[in-house]
Amino acid sequence: MKKSLQIFVIWKVIGLMLLSFFLPVGAASAATEIEKEAKVLVLYSSRHGNVDSDQRLLDMAIGAFSNDITFKHAAEVEAEDTEDITHLFYYGNKSETLPSNTVRQITSFSGTTVVVGKNIEQLDEKYDYVSLDECETITTLKMTGDETKKTSIQSQSVTGVITEEETDVLVAGERKSKDIPVLVKQDNTYYSALDSLVPPYSVYFSQALHDVFDTDPSEKTPGYIRLEDIHPLADPDQLMEVAEFLKEKEIPYLMAVIPVYTHPETGEEYHFNDSPDVLKAVRYMQENGGSVVLHGYTHQFRDSETGEGFEFWDVEHEMPIYHGQDEEVVKKTERDFDSEEEYAAYVEENKAYEREYIEKRLTRGIEELTNFGLHPLAFEAPHYTMSQNGYDVVSDYFSTYVGQIQLSDKDWKTMETTPAASTPSFLNGMEVLPETIGYIRPEDSKAVDRMMKKANNYEVMDGGIVGGFYHPYLGVDGLKEVIGEMEKIPNIDWIDLKDYDNKVETDNVVITSGSGTIFTDIDRTGLMLSSIDFPIYHVKVFIQKMMWGVAGIGLLSVSFFIGYMITQRVRRKRLEGEVSGG
């Protein structure tokens, strides 16, 4: 027992010495949230009676202008709900008769009011300038008064709107040169006849929100390129080639890093300490413009390959991770239970399992990368798939999310992006930096053209993000083409994640950033004791350096010896010559 304790203490001391020697040190700094003064209440009428994917799309749009957003079913609004708010939205996603109290609260509110979709005819006391007409079909969207902000779209039906002369048309549709009002304004009230807030209309709607929130739009276009699926078996030469190109261009970039590669056939795991050349390349990238984004821990589930598989969604059974990889999956609904209480308990049990599963992988991912000198500043779910409960878990660890968002817990394909950086209420304080223009598909010769067409659409919103990603295994030439086209975007402003006030936190690690600098606050004892793999890595590195040191000393000794022998030989020959000559 005493011997085991002695060994433990020795390991602890060695680990602390090595960690203090190898791990970078910095001052801890708390992330500062962007202050947005608007306080928003969103009343909704939805098809299923609760917040769903449609409301979350609106949440993301508003989240670019406010981080104080409350959603409430329209039938449940009370007078006190509107007392301290600055903006009131009503989202009529479903035709229904509104309670008289709801109508009264909306029409009596004196602040900025926005109505989206159906049921506006019941609010005629406030919206008497809007009369509905037969549906129209539009093939173009445009910002009125700005011919540069115009997009051709697939034919779309929109409720016909007849307005008074004093009404401003902010967004219009076109068909055969006929202008059709889509989003209109009078004084501080707004009405959107389209209720589907998916691209491209979501971009025009978000541009109109600049008027709603009375902001001063930026003339710059934030943009980023994300290098995707960097894992321990990546090609270090390809990584370095890409890194050198971006360094030469002085373009900051994001790196979606996967700490573990899992072989799909053998199940063998490869970590960055198994690939020192890859680790060296990623460290170089981090020091020369790259910012690490944790992209899952293994980016796979069951026997799928890292980078191809899902990790936080069971795509085979179309559900969150409520079970082990090898467990039999039994999906249950409320009808399988005798009472609502039993079903509620079942749901909570599933969520608890999912929470623990995600927490373990996030913690391990953050701490393992930190142990290797890599500091993740944001998170990206593999294939953007994750339940709403999952986002709640992630928000406990990360202040920033990168990519698109899954909006439904029933279908992983129900996902969408948003035009600008946003802090929607359903992400629990996380800011999302959206991916908006896609990526290079090797089999698609027009991939870059498609990306730039999307970029043009997102430029409609002042301050809208143009964000895409690229797989380094495709080589540097494709990246050069993408970057070359993105550089043509007027006023492109490359996002450096280190400039953002990010915060990443586990029990043993706190990583913050701001003004181009990364700070770390590490509980070195806790980190070392959390996994035997961590101190072992540093011991191996220390031994390797010692061996190189010993080898260097040996080589130097040999060099001195050889030099000494040559000197002695020359001296001896000189003496022999003097004797012979004498």
Which alpha helices (DSSP H) does 499-532 contain, by range? 524-530
Secondary structure element (H or E) that encloses residue 40, with its range = strand 40-45
Instruction: State the Cα–Cα distance between residues 114 and 293, nearest whole angstrom.
Output: 36
Instruction: State the Cα–Cα distance between residues 171 and 531, nearest whole angstrom.
Output: 57
- 8 Å CB contact between 400 and 375: no
Could you list the pLDDT tens digit for every one of the 582 residues in the chain? 444 444 443 444 344 444 444 443 333 333 233 346 899 999 999 877 789 999 999 999 999 999 999 999 999 999 999 999 999 999 998 999 999 999 999 999 999 999 999 999 999 999 999 999 889 999 999 999 898 999 999 999 998 898 888 899 999 999 887 899 999 999 999 999 999 999 999 999 999 999 999 999 888 999 999 999 999 999 999 999 999 999 999 999 999 999 999 888 788 889 999 999 999 999 999 999 999 999 999 987 776 767 777 898 888 889 898 988 888 888 888 999 999 999 999 999 999 999 999 999 999 999 999 999 999 999 999 989 999 999 999 999 999 999 999 999 999 999 999 999 999 999 999 999 999 999 998 889 899 999 999 999 999 999 999 999 999 999 999 999 999 999 999 999 999 999 999 999 999 999 999 999 999 999 988 888 877 766 676 666 556 555 545 555 656 655 665 665 666 666 666 666 655 555
Q: What is residue 30's three-state secondary structure? A: coil
Residue with tokens 């509104």: 98
pLDDT of residue 544: 56
pLDDT of residue 442: 86
Instruction: State the Cα–Cα distance between residues 137 and 160, nearest whole angstrom.
Output: 9
Query: Can you read off the two tokens belonging to residue 475?
Result: 């080589």
Which alpha helices (DSSP H) does 196-252 contain, by range? 201-212, 236-249
Which alpha helices (DSSP H) does 459-532 contain, by range? 476-486, 524-530
> Helix and strand tally (H, E) in the chain?
12, 25
E strand intervals along 127-249:
130-143, 146-163, 168-175, 178-186, 189-192, 221-230
Asked if the peptide bond before residue 419 counts as cis, ω within 30 degrees of 0, the response is no
pLDDT of residue 309: 78
Secondary structure element (H or E) that encloses residue 450, with its range = helix 447-458
pLDDT of residue 169: 95
Instruction: State the Cα–Cα distance between residues 480 and 560, nearest whole angstrom.
Output: 50
Rounded to 5 degrees, what are φ and ψ at 295? Answer: -115, 60
Strand pairing class (400-402; 269-270)? unpaired
Q: In this structure, which amino acid lies at residue 102? A: T
- 8 Å CB contact between 138 and 113: no
**Would you state the torsion angle of the CA atoms of residues 72, 76, 78, 82, taken in this order, to the nearest 10 degrees?**
20
Residue 264's nearest CA partner among 315, 325, 323, 317 is 325
pLDDT of residue 274: 93
Q: What is the pTM of this model?
A: 0.86
Residue 453's nearest CA partner among 463, 442, 468, 443 is 468
Contacts of 374 (CB under 8 A, 6+ apart): 257, 272, 282, 283, 286, 292
From residue 449, alpha-carbon distances to 140, 173, 445, 550 in Å are 20, 25, 9, 56
Q: What is residue 484's three-state secondary structure? A: helix
- 8 Å CB contact between 48 and 96: no
